[in-house]
Structure formats: C-alpha cells, structure tokens
Amino acid sequence: MRKIAITVLIFTLVGGSGISTFSGARLAAASVRKAPTRSAEVIVKLKMASGALTEEGRLITVNRTAEGVAVSVGAHSSEPLIRQAGPALKAQIAEIISRRGLDRVYVMKIDPSADIDAVIAELNRNESVEYAEPNYLVKPGTDIPSDPRFRFQWGLRNLGLAVDGYGATLDADIKALDAWDITTGIRDIIVAVTDTGVDITHPDLAENIFKNPGEVAGNGRDDDGNGYVDDVNGYNVAGQNGDVSDVLGHGTQMAGIISAVMSNGVGISGISRARILPVKFFRKTGPDPTDVEGTVADAARAIVYAVSAGATIINASWETFLDSNQVPAESIRSLSDAVHAAEDADILMVCIAGNEGLDNDTVKLYPGHYQLSNQIVVAASDYNDEIWHPPFNLSVIKSGYGLRTVQLFAPGVSVDTIMARGNCPLCSASADPNDWYALISGTSASAAFTSGVAALIKSAYPEATPPVIKRRLIESVDVRDQLKPFVSSGGRLNALGALTIQLTVAPPILNKVKLKGGGKLQLVGDAFQRGAVVLVGEERFLTRPKNGDLSVLVANVPEDLFPSGGAVSVTVRNPDGGASQPKMFTR
C-alpha cells in the first residue's frame, strides 16, 4: 500500500507547516495544536457602507474601501471572495449573499515576510473592517482506499458475510433495497459535492453528473449570466474556471457513494439517482501529485456557488478541527457566513465527525460544529454496527463522535466506491475498468451515505425543509446499545425508516397580514418558529422575528406581488414542516 504525504490538507491542528501525513490507511493524529494557514493570505470582511446608495454605487464604494484597506497594510493584491453576481442570479439568492455580507469579503495577499498576526490585528483596528482572519487550510476526511477489486457493498445490504476478510453482522446496513421500493431518487435533486473535484466522465457516474443547459463549454463566456464562466458541469472555485477534474481522488469517491449509476451493469450502485454537482475548491500547488491544498476562503466560495447553482444538499466531507484555545470561532467567520447562507437558502449540509477519534463536543471541528438547523454531523460505523475501530481492537476509536454535536452513524468502513482515473494520489492509473473501484474508510464515506439518503427523502417529500429531512434521518435510525454512548440518536442510518417514519408537527397559526411601505410584510400569529418562511402565492421569502416571543414575523417582499384590489394567498411555513392555513390578503 502506498504511503502518501499530502502537503495541504487543512484547517487541521497538524503542524505549523501545514503537512498532514497519510500512513497506510490512517490519517496522522492531530497532536500539534497549531492550525496551518495559507501563508501570506488574510480574509477581510468590510463593514456595510452607510448612506442611501444604488447597488452600483454600493459596489463601487465597497471595492474602493477594499483597495484602501489593502494599501493600509501593504497587501500585494485584494480579490473578492465572491465575484459580482450575474444578472441571472435569482433575487432570493442575491439577497442572501448580500444579507450575510459575503459580497463584502476579500482575500488579501500580504508580504510573506510580514507578521501575519500583527497584520490581522492592525486590520481589525481599521474602522472600515468588520473582521480579519487567517486563511486556514482544509482537508478532505477519508482514508486511503485499500482493495480496489472488492465489490461487495455491505452498507446497502449486509448479508453477514465477511467484509475485507473480517466477520460482519447480518442486516447491519441502511436497508437500501427496501427504500428503493419507495423511491430510487429523482434527477431534480442536486447534491453538491464540495471537494477535490470529480471524474465526470467515469462510466459509472457520467450519466448522473449535473449539466448546466444555459452554459456553452469552453467559450470563455458567462452564457447564462449567473456570474460564473463555463460552469457546464459545476465549477472550480479555487481556479475560477470550469475544470472540475479531481486533483486528489476524494471527491469522486464521495460522488460514487451518493449517485453511481444504478442498474447499468457496471461496477457499483449509488444510493440515489440524484445529480452530482461538482464544486472543486482544492487546488494543485506544485508538480508532485500530492501537492494539493484547500483553504477556508475557497471552502466558503464552494458553499456560495452551491447555493447559487440551486443545490438541494451540500456534501461537506472535509474538516477543520481547531483548538478553541488557539483558534477561536471568531477567527473563521467567513466560513460561518457561507454556512449561514446555505441555511438561509434551505440547503441541507451534511458534515463529518472526523477521522481522528476525537470527541466533537470538546474539539471544535468545523463546519459541523456550527450546529445550524440545516446541518447534520455523521460518524462512521462498521459492518457490525460498531463505531469505526481497528479490527479486534475496540479500545482504539477512529471515528469522531459527540453526544451533543454528532447526530448519527452511517456506514464508513471498507465502503466500496468508484475511483477517479489519472495521476492523483487516490486515482487509478490502470486502463482496466475493473480497477476503477476501491474500498475506503472514514467519516467522509458516512457523510456521503447520509447525503444519498437525504436525496431519497427529498425525492419522496419535495416540500421537506432541511430541518424536516434532518428529523427524518435522526428519528428513524436503528438504535444500537453499542452506539448510544457516541451520538445523540444512539443509532445508525436507516434509509427505509427515513422514508416511512411519521413525523408530528405543530402548524403555525397566521392571524393577520399587514403590508407596510417598502414591501415590508408583517405577519401576526402563534406557534411561529425561528427560520420560518412565508409563501406569497408561489414565491418564498425568509422571515425574521420582530419581537422576542416570535408572535410577529417580518419579511421583505416585492410590492408588485400584491396588485391593488387583488387577493393573494399568504402562508407561513415553519422549519419543522408545519404550515399555516393560507390567508387571502388584499392590498
């Protein structure tokens, strides 16, 4: 088996050099308490411009301010985290990006010899700066694959036969065959694989790759006006181009678990027929195949692109575990802004508990540690429904866990999936299609399992919000005594249960609707929940509470949706899926 040193991988607490080592099938333990950063780069969020400005005027003001801030610390360059939104970007998404201030975030390159901590301190004293922080590194979460010829997908159906030479337990699986009797998923569901890229021409995956009908490949133009050039099959946010090829092999593995083509007589079967949206945010940094790097800034860009492209689910099989004594949460606010934007856009985000055997309740592993309503954090279980551990050694735990911060287990040991082809650390260089598959272990695989089942839920229940999908996933697990000490649900993912469980919800009561100047819609009622949305006709808008008891919600709604004298249906929908009776409102 190859031993690989990857010079990147992350927000991890590995060494100050940013080097993490794969040895055998195990990630090096994070024993050093220094989080690596990309040298000579800082992330800066500017304060909102004051005064009444047009959108064009606001952008000019923000860019000028960014230039001035960059000059003040001698930065060599300053580029926006998010490119200017294209004209085709949906108004709701543009509003989310603006509200979270992601259009005011810049990545600045400073002198490599400068003291980065001193520069950040100076930036944070600048009256134009909301925050400044290092550009931490990110790593993918799965271990190196072992036997590439092993096909048996025990996680979908476990017959109790040996897995990779070790005994397995009958039915320690997600009940996929029974779930597929209900749905195999629909192509309207888009799962964004924010990762190292995807082999989009793999014969066991190509059919299920996202295709942007409004974009023309290779012409160097933003044909569909969404702000991204040549994003035909997803986007490379690190390189700002349409090349989503896999630089490590990790993203392809995740895509295969989620959506390898079913019943095509080739290789394996994915969990759903959802389309895979590759969002590549890792980049090559040198000539060696192992020179690969991902950063917080590019992770944030990847999440925002997934939001803009209409993703239903974001698979985040990557991590940044940060010691709160060294790197407080305030030092990675750009990632928080992006994850909150995904929550605003009603996108489920599936995160990993990590592969270091650490308690997530005490070690802050991001992005999962934000614990937002649209996030679910997953640990790895094996073919005997036990937490991931070395064979015959229960005293060593490899999967992350957390009774408060990790919700469930999913298969994550000796999982069969596809391999990218080419010259990368986890790629196959063979010309034999039989060699384009691998067994992998890690919580990344567990997150991909969960994303696949989430896609089945969204297919069967199109109106399900992320909190509802999350409840279905958590409340339907197969509870196991040996898993109870490690995750809040005490159990392992069950696709059939997630599709068939009966949830109870408390619908809100909408008593009164008022439309005030500037399109401010006021909703008065009972049993409203934080994060509720209002449906005006068929248009959906986010609400915010006006008071502490949530009896009044406010939403910004275009006034032209309320024609004078015409009755319009208004409905409030809570995050748990409960919806009010429609109320007809006449302006």
Whether 223 and 359 share a structural domain = yes
Separation between Cα atoms, residue 573 and residue 94, nearest integer Å: 22
Residue of 481 and 97 predicted with greater confidence:
481
Is 192 part of a structural domain of the chain?
yes
Decide if 227 is inside a domain: yes
Closest CA to 414 of 22, 147, 26: 147
Domain that holds residue 537: 509-586
Report the interhelical angle of 296-308 vs 333-344 (nearest 10°): 10
Confidence of residue 321 (pLDDT cuts 50, 70, 90): low
Helix axes of 333-344 and 91-99: crossing angle, nearest 10 degrees: 150
In a domain, 375, yes or no: yes
Q: Report pLDDT digits (tens) over 352-362.
A: 999 999 999 99
The three-point CA angle 458-463-467 to 5° equals 75
Write down the pLDDT at residue 147: 32
Burial 293-314, CB ≥16 within 10 A → b, else e: bbbbbbbbbbbbbbbbbbbbbb
Same domain, 250 and 396: yes
* Of the candidates 307, 303, 335, 346, the residue with the CA atom closest to the CA atom of residue 542: 346
Which residues neighbour 517 within 8 Å (Cβ) at sequence distance 6 or greater? Answer: none
437 and 555 part of one domain? no
Q: Is residue 26 part of a domain?
A: no
Q: State whether 430 and 540 are in the same domain.
A: no
| Residue predicted with more confidence, 488 or 13 | 488
Helix (H), strand (E) at residue 63? helix 55-72
What is the Cα 472 distance to its own chain's centre?
19
Q: Where a domain ends, among 396, 429, 446?
A: 446
Looking at the fold, whether 208 and 315 belong to one and the same domain comes out as yes
Does 367 share its domain with 221?
yes
Number of domains present in the structure of the chain? 2
Confidence class for position 61, pLDDT limits 50, 70, 90: confident
Q: Which residue has the tokens 């004078």?
A: 564
Does residue 28 sit within a domain? Answer: no
Q: How do residues 543-585 score in pLDDT, each as one tens digit?
A: 999 988 899 999 999 888 888 888 999 999 888 888 899 999 9
pTM of the model as a whole: 0.85
Residue 234 belongs to a domain with what CATH number?
3.40.50.200
List CB contacts of 12: < 8 A, sequence separation 6 or more. Answer: 20, 30, 35, 36, 137, 139, 319, 320, 321
Confidence class of residue 190 from pLDDT cuts 50, 70 and 90?
A: very high
- DSSP category for residue 193: E
**So what's the pLDDT on residue 541?**
87
Q: Contact at 8 Å (CB) between 509 and 551?
A: no
Indicate whether 302 belongs to any domain: yes
Average pLDDT over residues 138-157: 62
Q: 322 falls in which pLDDT band (50, 70, 90)?
A: low
Answer yes or no: do 428 and 568 share one domain.
no
118 lies in a domain? Answer: no
My answer on whether 382 and 522 are in the same domain is no
- Grade residue 239 by pLDDT with cuts at 50, 70 and 90: very high
pLDDT in tens, 491-534: 999 999 999 999 988 899 999 999 988 889 999 999 999 888 89
User: Which of 409, 426, 446 marks a domain boundary?
Assistant: 446
- Lowest-confidence range among 1-10, 101-110, 146-155, 169-178? 1-10
Ranges 41-55, 83-97, 266-280: which has the least confidence: 83-97
Q: pLDDT for 338-348, tens place per residue?
A: 999 999 899 99
**Contact residues for 485 (Cβ-Cβ < 8 A; gap 6+):** 403
> In CATH, what number is assigned to the domain containing residue 576?
2.60.40.10
Quick check: is 493 in a domain? no
pLDDT of the residue at 352: 97
The dihedral built from the CA positions of residue 279, 282, 287 and 289, taken in this order, carries a sign that is negative
Assess whether 435 and 553 both reside in one domain: no
- Quote the mean pLDDT of the chain: 86
- Domain final position from 395, 422, 446: 446
Q: Compare 15 and 251 and report the one with higher pLDDT.
A: 251
pLDDT tens, position by position, 402-416: 999 999 999 999 999
Task: Give the per-residue pLDDT at 330.
Answer: 66
Q: Quickly state the pLDDT bin for 335 (edges 50, 70, 90).
A: very high
- Claim to verify: residue 519 and residue 427 sit in the same structural domain: no
What is the percent of the chain where pLDDT is above 90?
57
- CB of 357 closer than 8 Å to CB of 181: no
